[in-house]
Chains A and B, each alone.
Chain A
C-alpha cells in the first residue's frame, strides 16, 4: 500500500497547477464581468500559486540529488 505517484509525477502536477493558478489570479483582475457575484481573494490565490510553484521547484531539486 504505497502512494502510487513518483516525485516526477507530483512535480508535473504541481507545475501544471501552479501555472493554472497564476493565470487565474492574473485573469481575475481583468474579467470582473464574468465573475460579478463571486469574490476570490486574489492575494491569497497568488500566494498559493507561488507556494505550489516553490513546491514544484523542491521536487526538481529532489530529482537533481536523487535522479531515480
Chain B
C-alpha cells in the first residue's frame, strides 16, 4: 500500500502541473493579445488625431459653402456682383484644402543631432580597435509569431564586425539584443536611419516587403525627395546584387565633412543611406553592406554602393 501511495499522489500532482502549465500558457496568450490590442489602439488613436488635425479643411468649408450659396443666388437674382463673390469664395475655399498645418525645424538641427551618435560609435570602434564593415541584418516580419526569447529577431540591427572577412552573428546573439558579440567579434547597434525608415514607411503607406526592388527604389527616392525634401536629388539604381545611390545636396552632407572627421559615417552611412540600406535589407531579406562611398570635391554629391550578401 505504501508503495502505491506515491504513484497515486503523483497523478493529481501531474494534473495540477498540467493545469498550471495550461493556465500559464493561457495567461501568456492573453498578455500577448492585450499587447497587440494596445498597439492597435495606439495606431488608431494616431490615425484619429491625424484626421482631426485639419483646421484648414474647416476654413475651406467655411469659404466653400457661402461661395456656393452666393453663386446660386447670383443665378437666381442675375447679379454679377454675387457671382464674383461666389466664384472668389469657392475658389479660395477649395484652395484652403491644400494647406496643411505642420511644424518645421531648421535642417541644420538634424545633422547636429545625428553627430553625437556617430561620434559615440566612432569612439567605441576606436576603443575596441575594430576595422571591419557594417552589416544591415534583415529583421523578421512584424506579423510573424515568434516565441518570447526570439522576439529580438524582429528588430532591425546593424552588425559592425571587428575584421573584414567576418561571418554573421548567431541567431541567439541577435535575439538577445546583445551589444557586444564574441563570435564573430563585433558590436550590434540600432541603424542610424531606423527612425527615418519608419517615417518613410508611414508616408508610403505600403508594406515595403510587398514591393519589388525596382519599385522600392523608385518609391524611396520619391518619398525622400518629395515628401521629406531631405536632398535636392537622389538616384537609387538597382543592379544585380548591388545598389548605386547618388545623393546631391543632402541635409546630412555636413556629416561627411573633413571638419567632423567621422569614421563611422563611411561604414554606417548617413541616416538617409542607412534608411535605404534598412529598407533594402527588409525588402530582399538579405544582409546589406556599404561597399564604398565617395564624396565629391565640393562635398555636395555623395555616391554610395550597397551590396547584398547571400547567406
Contacts and interface: CB of A to CB of B under 8 A. Distances in A.
A49 to B, nearest CB: 10
Contact of B101 (A1, A32, A38): A38
A2 B83 CA distance: 11
A26 interface: no
Interface string B179-210: 00000000000000000000000000000000
B84 interface: yes
A39 B99 contact: yes
A27 interface: no
Interface in B51-110: 56, 74-76, 78-80, 82-84, 87-88, 91, 95, 98-104
Contacts of B101: 37-39
Contacts of B99: 38-40
B98 A40 contact: yes
Interface string A33-68: 000111111001100100000000000000000000
A37 B80 contact: no
B75 A1 contact: yes
Given A3-B83, A4-B83, A44-B98, A32 B104 contact: yes
Interface in B22-63: 56
Contact of B103 (A2, A17, A32, A37): A37
A38 B99 CA distance: 6
| Size class of the contact patch on chain B | 20 to 34
Nearest to B94: A48
Contacts of A4: 74-75, 78-80, 82-83
Which of A2, A4, A37 has the largest number of chain B CB atoms within 10 A?
A4
Contacts of A41: 98
B83 to A, nearest CB: 5
Contact of A1 (B76, B82, B91, B103): B76
A58 to B, nearest CB: 16
Contact of A13 (B75, B79, B84): B84
A29 to B, nearest CB: 12
Interface string B212-229: 000000000000000000
B75 A3 contact: yes
A38 B53 CA distance: 12
Contacts of B80: 4-5, 9
A17 B83 contact: no
B53 to A, nearest CB: 11
Nearest to B226: A43
Contacts of A38: 56, 99-102
A21 to B, nearest CB: 8
Interface of B: 56, 74-76, 78-80, 82-84, 87-88, 91, 95, 98-104
Interface of A: 1-5, 9, 13, 17, 32, 36-41, 44-45, 48
28 contacts: A1-B76, A1-B78, A3-B74, A4-B75, A4-B79, A4-B80, A4-B82, A5-B83, A5-B84, A5-B87, A13-B84, A13-B88, A17-B91, A32-B104, A36-B103, A37-B101, A37-B102, A37-B103, A38-B56, A38-B99, A38-B100, A38-B101, A39-B102, A40-B99, A40-B100, A41-B98, A45-B95, A45-B98
Given A4-B80, A44-B98, 10 more contacts: A2-B78, A4-B75, A9-B80, A36-B103, A36-B104, A37-B102, A37-B103, A38-B99, A39-B100, A39-B101
